[in-house]
Amino acid sequence: MLLELTNIQKSFGRTRALAGVSLRASAGVHAVLGENGAGKSTLMKILAGAIAPDGGEMRLREKLYAPRDPAEGRAAGVAIVYQEPQLCPDLTVAENIALGSEPTRFGFVDRGRVRARAEEALAQLSEERIATDRLVASLPAGDRQLVAIARAISQARCRVLILDEPTSSLGAHDVDRLFAAVRRLRESGMCILYISHFLEEVERIADRYTVLRDGKSVGTGKVGEQPMREIVRMMVGQDVGELFAHSERELGDVVLSLEDLAGKTKPTHASLELYRGEVLGIAGLVGSGRTELLRAVFGLDPVKSGRVRVGAYVGPASPARRLTQGLGLLSEDRKGEGLAAGMSIADNLTLSKLAGLGPPGLVLNAPQRAAAQSWIQRLSIRCRDAAQPVSDLSGGNQQKVALARLLYHDVDVFLLDEPTRGIDVKSRAEVYRLIDELAVQGKAVLVVSSYLPELVGICDRIAVMRKGRLGEARPVGERDMHALLVEATGA
């Protein structure tokens, strides 16, 4: 057995993050599954040496393992690649891979050995060459992910590699490249702990799995021996029923119309009509211009040409004006744009609509928190109270806060950019049900997603964007996922 964790425990104040987790893993891909807040990230940070456990025992290659910091963990052969790659964009690929353990010669960094080490590490992952002298800032998302993994495996004799949501920002082609790299590492005898909310990925890449729930390990086994529905039940403690909610909907008037819309760079051409009571999906590869389309409609990016009509309003407008017109945007960048992480749930939820929370010019705590509390209860946001900082919440609950702000603002048109990225199965099911409820109520929803099963499951029509051009929106039943992917890639 390469890695063995026994009864690992960890508390942060009165919050018990891990209440006794045990895990055994050998060479191969071992998936670690669970809802947001189940304890996966805490366990991986303990394993990597970023934090110390309060109790339990870890063994690596049958020897006691208790790293005091990440450097000691890496030296022992354990490395972690976080969901957001920890890279320096203004350094080259080679410099990033060697960062922190640069080979030296006569007291100076040996550039030749830096380059050779980088090329060797990248060769372990892919036959496609990534130029080691390129700045990381110039690389696409898939290449950046491979560079982060190359750095992890190059700095010591890596035996255990932890991948935390590695595909969350990748398109289909880059996911395939990543999986090919993971398979190469598996064949070399490495143990890969793979954290993902996408069970389809687990079926494709993992050999075994361990499920965490409420800080405890509640199940383990070989992938394929249990139906995925049973693994989901282990993760959430109950049967979530059908994942995708799609009630009967009645279409109303057109509430959003785009005619030959073009942005500064993207989109280059986009026309569509969105109806009340409709969920319309936009598929496409990462970088195809989907996010830029939503930003241009909402007023965050300039409109170069074409026309946007929101209800009776025609023409470009600022984000503040769009909100008053009844149009709201959920950003794909939850941390950078979607939320003010250091502020409370109440502040985040009411930020765009402060009127009525006190005398003119003032916001009073009591009415603000009361307004927030009603949405906390309605969306089942797991938190202490409305005063808790958003940064303390799990990813799924942060996403619910971002959605609750649009609901509190009572917008009619929802622009949702990757609404379920980085959140667990149960939270995804809740978001899908919420989207379905909005459509049934007569709201209009425009969804951008890289996850094709999601679009097919919740949408009435889907349009595909490729290289900045938006194709015709057609009913879901007219194309399967293969056809959508072919259209997105131009294959």
Name the more confident of 155 and 338.
338
Q: For residue 390, is pLDDT > 60?
A: yes
Predicted confidence at residue 126, as pLDDT, reads 79
Name residue 62's amino acid: E
Name the residue with tokens 């598996």.
186
Q: Taking the domains of the chain in order of start, what are their residue ranges?
A: 3-236, 254-489
CATH number of 254-489: 3.40.50.300
Predicted confidence at residue 242, as pLDDT, reads 67
How far is the C-alpha of 485 from the C-alpha of 482, rounded, in Å? 5
Bridge partners of residue 33, in order along the sequence: 211
Predicted confidence at residue 240, as pLDDT, reads 54
Predicted confidence at residue 118, as pLDDT, reads 87
Structure tokens at 72: 């000691």
Structure tokens at 274: 């969105």
Confidence of residue 142 (pLDDT cuts 50, 70, 90): confident
Mean pLDDT of the chain: 88
Predicted confidence at residue 380, as pLDDT, reads 83
Question: For the domain 3-236, what is the CATH superfamily, name and number?
Answer: P-loop containing nucleotide triphosphate hydrolases (3.40.50.300)
- Give a three-class secondary structure readout of the chain: CCEEEEEEEEEECCEEEEEEEEEEECCEEEEEECCCCCCHHHHHHHHHCCCCCCEEEEEECCEECCCCCHHHHHHHCEEEECCCCCCCCCCEHHHHHHCCCCCEECCEECHHHHHHHHHHHHHHHCCCCCCCCCEHHHCCHHHHHHHHHHHHHHCCCCCEEEEECCCCCCCHHHHHHHHHHHHHHHHCCCEEEEECCCHHHHHHHCCEEEEEECCEEEEEEEECCECHHHHHHHHHCCCCCCCCCCCCCCCCCEEEEEEEEEECCCCCEEEEEEECCCEEEEECCCCCCHHHHHHHHHCCCCEEEEEEEECCEECCCCHHHHHHCCEEEECCCHHHHHCCCCCEHHHHHHCCCCCCCCCCCCCCHHHHHHHHHHHHHHCCCCCCCCCCEHHHCCHHHHHHHHHHHHHHHCCCEEEEECCCCCCCHHHHHHHHHHHHHHHHCCCEEEEECCCHHHHHHHCCEEEEEECCEECCCEEHHHCCHHHHHHHHHCC
How far is the C-alpha of 371 from the C-alpha of 238, rounded, in Å? 30
List pLDDT tens digits, range 206-262. 999 999 988 899 999 999 888 877 887 888 776 655 678 889 999 999 999 999 999
Residues found in the chain:
491
CB 280 within 8 A of CB 463: yes
Predicted confidence at residue 450, as pLDDT, reads 83
Structure tokens at 381: 């946001």
Name the residue with tokens 């936009």.
282
Residue 199 has φ and ψ, to the nearest 5°, of -70, -25
- Strands 208-213 and 216-222, sheet pairing: antiparallel
Burial of 261 (0-12, 13-18, 19+ CB in 10 A): buried
Name residue 256's amino acid: L
How far is the C-alpha of 264 from the C-alpha of 253, rounded, in Å? 30
Tell me the CA end-to-end span of the chain in Å, nearest whole number: 44
Are domains 3-236 and 254-489 of this chain identical in fold? yes
Ramachandran class of 224: left when φ > 0, alpha when ψ lies in -120 to 50, beta otherwise: left
Predicted confidence at residue 298, as pLDDT, reads 95
How far is the C-alpha of 428 from the C-alpha of 263, rounded, in Å? 31
Bridge partners of residue 15, in order along the sequence: 12
The closest of 291, 285, 337, 263 to 141, measured between CA atoms, is 285
The closest of 405, 404, 381, 403 to 393, measured between CA atoms, is 381
Predicted confidence at residue 241, as pLDDT, reads 57
How far is Cα of residue 470 from the mean position of the Cα atoms in its chain?
A: 24
Bridge partners of residue 256, in order along the sequence: 274, 310
Name the more confident of 129 and 278.
278
Residue 409 has φ and ψ, to the nearest 5°, of -75, -15
How far is the C-alpha of 491 from the C-alpha of 480, rounded, in Å? 15
List pLDDT tens digits, range 315-368. 889 999 999 999 999 998 887 788 888 899 999 999 888 888 888 878 888 888
Average pLDDT over residues 74-87: 85
How far is the C-alpha of 26 from the C-alpha of 23, rounded, in Å? 10
Confidence of residue 267 (pLDDT cuts 50, 70, 90): very high
List pLDDT tens digits, range 37-77. 788 889 999 999 999 999 999 999 999 999 999 889 988 99
In angstroms, the Cα distances linking 327 to 184, 361, 414, 422, 444 are 47, 25, 6, 24, 9
Predicted confidence at residue 442, as pLDDT, reads 95
Which among 198-212, 379-393, 460-474, 477-491 has the top mean pLDDT? 460-474
CB 161 within 8 A of CB 125: no
